[in-house]
Amino acid sequence: MRCPHLKFVLPILLILVFTHTSLAQPHADLIVDAAGNGDYKTISDAISSLSMYPYQRTIIFIRNGVYDEKIRIEQHYITLRGENRESTIIRYNQLRETWNNARDYIGPGVINIDGDDIVLDNLTIENTQPEIGPHAFAVYGLTGTRTIIINCNVISKGADTVSLWNYKHGMYYHANCRFEGAVDFVCPRGWCFVRDCAFYEVKQTAALWHAGNYDPDQKFVIRNSSFDGVEGFELGRHHYEAQFYLLDCRFTDAMVDRPIYWRKSDDPDKNNPYYEGDRTYFYHCQKAGQPYDWYADNLREAAGQPTPGQITPAWTFGGVWNPESTEPIRVINYQIDHSSLILTFNEIVTVRGKPQFRTKSGIQFEIMIQRFTDINRLTFKAVEPFNKTDLSGECTMLGGDIVNSIASVQERSIGPIFRVRQNKRN
């Protein structure tokens, strides 16, 4: 068996996005410390402490240590962020077959995701079952969407290491990760965008798998990533309609000469419909050793003939979600209600602290905390009378913050200076 450390050095294109070396301490709402020096000793206890319906993003910071636990995330807007990618380890021994025979509520994976807008960052997540080949999930989910995995090692010796399977609406983004496993070990259903990752196949089977049978637009895009594994491993396959895009990827000479293929049953009655035909597209991919013809550039054959520059996360997700956005939160409307000001934002927001701001005319506002804030509107109370003229020009934040709730690689804030957009109703 070849060494599981990849030959290729990945050029990390988004170094500023993915590096945790800023001078400012990252925000944390809860701290987990296995040694007992945080709010909780286990990740499961920290998640269980949250409301079943959290209306704001909660960032759980996990200090270095080994966390032998299996986790279920049902709530929305949760970030699990480790202190160090190599030293913050979540691990559990779980075969899918074992779970099927004695099902618990938590799920068959090490991390089981049923909430939307979940972010896993700067962690090692490992299914420690020792057998090569059988289904053994590290990250598993059936209903969540807008899932982000960044800066992580996600490891299993079994099949389906990363199995995010919301086949109708699932959208997933992964970057700067190392994935390791056996059969179909990264196998999304729906839409998935991956960049700057390393894949290692531990068995002479297919590394990639995709199901895109619910919507013809569903696709699996991989950019600037490397593939290695045991001698004779395959790149990918599918059992349903699927669509693959691989751009600027690098393959080891251990990869067998077999294109991504439709896995058909010997019994024709068991095969799924295959209306769309083969949809596997490559651009500027390279392989060590003997080259193969099947990964030659063919983007011109894809629907719409996209250029390499057009194939972004926003393009992958049809403009519905852009996890790489760096745009600040914006006020898009306002309403004056006596001494209160209701601001409408361009997306769902999370309140940090007690936001206060001052208008250019000198009127100061402070937030009125209300029960439900899983919306894009917030109410502020003025400390003195005001009118719409006082809302012209730049506003300055004096305290607190307003940030994005929807999952994003980089936290986006309203910023220190913002404007209240005028409207005709007032």
The architecture CATH gives domain 331-419: Sandwich (2.60)
Answer whether residue 421 shows pLDDT above 80: no
Q: Could you count the other beta carbons within 10 Å of the beta carbon of residue 133?
A: 14
Give me the phi and psi of 418, to 5 degrees please.
-150, 170
**Predicted local distance difference test score (pLDDT) of residue 214:** 96
**Predicted local distance difference test score (pLDDT) of residue 19:** 44
Stronger pLDDT, 47 or 2, i.e. the higher one: 47
The distance of Cα 68 from the centroid of its chain, to the nearest Å, equals 23
Distance CA 33, CA 247 (A): 40
**Predicted local distance difference test score (pLDDT) of residue 4:** 46
Q: Which two tokens stand for residue 368?
A: 């009125």
Report which secondary-structure segment, H or E, holds 250.
strand 250-251
The distance of Cα 109 from the centroid of its chain, to the nearest Å, equals 17
Domain 15-316 sits in CATH 2.160.20.10:
yes
Answer whether residue 410 shows pLDDT above 50: yes
Angle at 146 between CA 143 and CA 148, to 5 degrees: 110
Dihedral of CA 308/173/183/276: which sign?
negative
Distance CA 108, CA 110 (A): 7
**Matching fold, domains 15-316 and 331-419:** no
| Average pLDDT along the chain | 92
Least confident of 20-24, 38-42, 238-242, 287-291: 20-24
Find the farthest-apart pair of alpha carbons in the chain and give their distance in angstroms, rounded.
77
Distance CA 158, CA 137 (A): 7
For residue 243, CA distances in Å to 192, 215, 255, 400 come to 10, 11, 20, 44
Answer whether residue 349 shows pLDDT above 50: yes
What is the mean pLDDT of the segment spanning 138-142? Answer: 98
3-class secondary structure, 7? coil
The ranges assigned to domains in the chain are 15-316, 331-419
Answer whether residue 14 shows pLDDT above 50: no
**Predicted local distance difference test score (pLDDT) of residue 269:** 82
Contact 218, 201 (CB under 8 A): no
What is the mean pLDDT of the segment spanning 38-58? Answer: 94
Residues in the chain: 426
**% of the chain surpassing 70 pLDDT:** 92
Q: What is the pLDDT of residues 316-346, one digit of tens each?
A: 999 999 999 999 999 999 999 999 999 999 9
Q: What is the pLDDT of residues 239-293, one digit of tens each?
A: 999 999 999 999 999 999 999 999 988 888 888 888 999 999 999 999 999 999 9
